Amino acid sequence: MATHTIAFVERVDGALHDPSLQTALERATTRFIGNRAKAVADVDNFEALRHQARAIRAGALARLDELLARLADNVERHGGRVCWAEDGAAARRYILDLAQQRGVRTIVKSKSMASEEIHLNEALEHAGLEVIETDLGEYIIQLAGETPSHIIAPAIHKTREQVRDLFVQHLGMEPTDDIPTMTRTARTALRQRFLQADMGISGVNFGVANEGAIVIVENEGNARLTTTAPRIHVAIMGIERICESFDDLGVLLQVLARSATGQRLSVYTSIISGPRRPHEPDGPEEFHLVLLDNRRSEIIGGKYAEALMCIRCGACLNACPVYQSIGGHAYGGVYSGPIGAILTPLLQPDLPDAHKLPHASSLCGACEWACPVKIAIPDLLLRLRADAVNNGKYEGYEPPAMFGWRQAMMNPALYRLGGKMASFGTHLLARNGQVRWLPPPLDGWTKQRDFPPFAPKTFTELWEERKKQG
């Protein structure tokens, strides 16, 4: 993954100067936002639903241990196996061992950010296994040798034209921009793979503790095939993705589909509770649930716990003007956009530049407004910024600048003097009443914007004068 080694600024710069990316982002986010708005307007009281969803998520996190134990017990009662994976390495080892013990050669996959998080594909491929992504978007980026750039639309950064070229190159498709033809080409290529595969790996949208079930929502139907066609099904679930009952699930599904794609309900909702039973005609022989911790239990109970309420709908990404400008790859981690700027430093703190992501926000709050569980994303970003500063991660000029600022703001005489100097300086630099160049580190401002010179007299001075004149 080359994106991990170049600096954040360069990734941003590359993204802003990539015309295909800009076109793709513009087309996709606009459509998502429009659909979401319609689907939300459809509900009598979406605000109340959000409230309820938030309470359900908060309640589940508060009783995480209890609910996870109940989920695991019930899964085992249904004949499934449960792996408690403390970190990515443990999860990878479990899945790889299983594949090797069962003589697995080909694996089909569907719907899993968690497997991206633990770099599962690389580990499996490294061991000589063939891994095929089956969701259209994931399949496209697998062909392109890239990583997902959106939580629910992994290939959002690709234009139709780019996808056409990929299919022509890898699948021998006749050049065409006709979307049904492109989809059919991919489907034909994938059908064969489903039949060949020995193992299917899926993600989990929600685990339902009382039922010992996992729930997967999708629109293409590939998750259904992934979880039923091969003889072994492995589901990977971040431990926070749990709810207690089907009642809770009903609420979460309503806000998820509306926030993610603007649908009332996704086309397919699969509820899976274990392997095929003796009297059942189909389904896998084995079902394994991997419960992935990977630092999550450290976050629970701390000042970032709220981030784990996320249901990965992607609404905050679509709403975010920063994401709209730079796309997902610029963030460098598995999760992108506003929630990614929080999750990446928490879940992948070793990633170089991870501490910079919380600064990639103007704190406009559009994400918090869009979030179906009302995660206070800007507040969390601000906490991460404070933590980074406490850990000595800042630009060299910042501490002295802050010190100077603080002295000036605390001491009226210094404040006045600073203002006079700024006024003098900016008037020297001004041409026709506008400053067109500021010295570093402020030169970023004047690259595409003018700056007004500081006023010759401050408001305070003008006010004093006015009072004297009576």
Partner 1 sequence: MTVQPHRRAVLFVTCIVDQVHPNIGLAAAELLERQGVEVVVPRGLTCCGQMAFNAGFRDDAYAVAGRTIEILRNQGDVVLPSGSCGAMIRHLYHELFHGTRHEAAAKELAQRTYELSEYLVDVLGVTDVGARYDGVIAVHDACHGLRYMGLGRQARILLDHVAGARIVSLPGSDECCGFGGLFAVKQHQISEAMLQRKLAHIAECGCDLVVTGDSSCMTQIAGGLSRSKSRVRACHLAEVLANRVGLGG
Angle, CA of 278, 281 and 286, to the nearest 5°: 60
- Measured from the CB atom, is 288 or 329 closer to partner 1? 329
Q: Quick check: 316 binds partner 1 (CB under 8 A)? A: no
Contact string (CB under 6 A) for ligand SF4, positions 445-464, x = contact: --------------------
Q: Quick check: 314 binds ligand SF4 (CB under 6 A)? A: yes
Chosen residue from 394, 427, 429, 430 binding partner 1 by CB under 8 A: 394
Alpha helices in 78-112 (DSSP H): 88-101
Distance CA 130, CA 380 (A): 40
- Measured from the CB atom, is 21 or 311 closer to ligand SF4? 311
Q: Quick check: 357 binds ligand SF4 (CB under 6 A)? A: no
Region binding ligand SF4 by CB under 6 A among candidate stretches 123-131, 197-205, 358-366, 369-377: 369-377
- Measured from the CB atom, is 6 or 300 closer to ligand SF4? 300
AA identity, residue 381: L
Chosen residue from 59, 250, 302, 321 binding partner 1 by CB under 8 A: 321
Q: Quick check: 363 binds partner 1 (CB under 8 A)? A: yes
Nearest distance in Å: CB 355, ligand SF4: 20
Q: Quick check: 151 binds ligand SF4 (CB under 6 A)? A: yes
- Measured from the CB atom, is 214 or 316 closer to partner 1? 316
Nearest C-alpha neighbor of 37 from the set 318, 377, 414, 277: 318
Residue 457: what are its φ and ψ, rounded to 5°? -125, 135
- Measured from the CB atom, is 9 or 55 closer to partner 1? 9
Chosen residue from 40, 71, 153, 322 binding partner 1 by CB under 8 A: 322
Distance CA 280, CA 470 (A): 92
**Kind and range of the H or E element at 255?**
helix 246-260
Six token digits for residue 259: 């926030």
Chosen residue from 173, 313, 347, 354 binding ligand SF4 by CB under 6 A: 313
AA identity, residue 241: R
Q: Quick check: 312 binds ligand SF4 (CB under 6 A)? A: yes
Q: Quick check: 403 binds partner 1 (CB under 8 A)? A: yes
162 contact choice in ligand SF4, partner 1, none (CB below 5 to 8 Å, kind-dependent): none
Q: Quick check: 397 binds partner 1 (CB under 8 A)? A: no
Q: Quick check: 341 binds partner 1 (CB under 8 A)? A: no
371 contact choice in ligand SF4, partner 1, none (CB below 5 to 8 Å, kind-dependent): ligand SF4
DSSP 8-state code for residue 158: S
312 contact choice in ligand SF4, partner 1, none (CB below 5 to 8 Å, kind-dependent): ligand SF4
Six token digits for residue 73: 């017990």
245 contact choice in ligand SF4, partner 1, none (CB below 5 to 8 Å, kind-dependent): none
Q: Quick check: 375 binds ligand SF4 (CB under 6 A)? A: yes
Q: Helices 246-260 and 46-62: crossing angle, nearest 10°?
A: 120
AA identity, residue 422: A
End-to-end CA distance of the chain: 69
449 contact choice in partner 1, ligand SF4, none (CB below 5 to 8 Å, kind-dependent): partner 1
Distance CA 322, CA 362 (A): 8
Q: Quick check: 387 binds partner 1 (CB under 8 A)? A: yes
Chosen residue from 39, 197, 214, 316 binding ligand SF4 by CB under 6 A: 316
Cα torsion 99, 102, 105, 107: sign: negative
Residue 245 and residue 212 in contact, taking contact as beta carbons nearer than 8 Å: no
- Measured from the CB atom, is 95 or 316 closer to ligand SF4? 316
Nearest distance in Å: CB 246, partner 1: 34
DSSP 8-state code for residue 312: -
Angle, CA of 21, 441 and 414, to the nearest 5°: 140
450 contact choice in ligand SF4, partner 1, none (CB below 5 to 8 Å, kind-dependent): partner 1
DSSP string, 110-146: ES-HHHHHTTHHHHHHHTT-EEEE-SHHHHHHHHHT-
Q: Quick check: 253 binds ligand SF4 (CB under 6 A)? A: no
Measured CA to CA in angstroms, residue 199 lies from 53, 236, 385 at distances of 34, 13, 42
Q: Quick check: 189 binds partner 1 (CB under 8 A)? A: no
Distance CA 116, CA 314 (A): 16
Residue 119 and residue 347 in contact, taking contact as beta carbons nearer than 8 Å: no
Chosen residue from 373, 384, 388, 438 binding ligand SF4 by CB under 6 A: 373
The footprint of ligand SF4 (CB under 6 A) covers 151, 259, 310-316, 339, 370-373, 375
